[in-house]
């Protein structure tokens, strides 16, 4: 069934169509939220919120973009709301002493997991728009143009946000070898890719 037909059936209030749309896009929504936010105990709530927003807004879907892109935009907005809400409530102070607690010697898998945890800890310190742009581009692997389209910003502003986020992370990584290792491994191929995006 085409997206347009599915959307029409959802608009008519057909429950089966709503279920079908959910099943088709649940993995995508989950992946987008996960790559932006990392592991979160509120993931299910956020997924539910994203789909409710999707169904509420379906009457505005004009088919000018792909349904998947349109759903991505809504998902990113939900993630942005979540980040802003989290930032407005006091959070415990991070413990820099813990940063040196584990090292790559614990095994590469553990180090990698720890690196990912530290990456999201570092990302939480960035402005929400930069964090999202970086996550969509570097972690979700989308092009700068695609990220700009999803977040509704100019390509130049998106590039600037990604660049600022990358620079901020590298600075944090300067005193965190585990994070540095994760970023270094990702960096070698990313730099070239970043240049390709800039040329688009």
Residues of span 124-143 touching another protein by CB under 8 A: 125, 127-129, 138-141
Alpha carbon 151 to its chain's center: 11
Q: In the set 19, 66, 85, 106, which binds another protein (CB under 8 A)? A: 19
Smaller CB distance to another protein: residue 3 or 190? 190
Residues 46-75 that bind another protein (CB under 8 A): 47-48, 51-60, 62, 70, 73-74
H helix intervals, 38-124: 43-57, 67-88, 108-123
SS3 91: coil
Q: Are 70 and 4 in contact (CB under 8 A)?
A: no
Q: Are 169 and 119 in contact (CB under 8 A)?
A: yes
Q: What sign for the dihedral angle of Cα 189, 191, 194, 195? A: negative
Q: In the set 103, 152, 196, 198, which binds another protein (CB under 8 A)? A: 152
Smaller CB distance to another protein: residue 1 or 111? 111
Instruction: Give least dist CB 177 to another protein, A.
Output: 14
* Residue 182 touches another protein, criterion: CB under 8 A: yes
């Amino acid at each position: 069934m085409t997206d347009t037909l599915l959307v029409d059936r959802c608009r008519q209030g057909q429950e089966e169509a709503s279920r079908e749309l959910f099943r088709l896009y649940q993995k995508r929504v989950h992946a987008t939220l996960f790559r932006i936010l990392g592991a979160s105990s509120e993931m299910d709530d956020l997924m539910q919120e994203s789909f409710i927003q999707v169904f509420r807004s379906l009457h505005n879907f004009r088919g000018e973009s792909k349904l998947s892109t349109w759903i991505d935009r809504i998902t990113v907005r939900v993630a942005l709301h979540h980040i802003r809400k989290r930032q407005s409530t006091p959070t415990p102070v991070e413990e820099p002493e813990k940063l040196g607690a584990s090292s790559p010697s614990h095994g590469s898998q553990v180090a990698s997991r720890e690196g990912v945890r530290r990456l999201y800890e570092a990302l939480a310190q960035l402005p929400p728009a930069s964090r999202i742009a970086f996550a969509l581009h570097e972690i979700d692997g989308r092009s700068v143009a695609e990220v700009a389209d999803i977040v509704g910003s100019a390509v130049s502003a998106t590039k600037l946000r990604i660049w600022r986020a990358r620079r901020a992370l590298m600075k944090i990584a300067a005193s965190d070898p585990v994070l540095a290792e994760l970023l270094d491994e990702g960096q070698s191929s990313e730099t070239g890719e970043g240049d390709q995006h800039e040329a688009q």
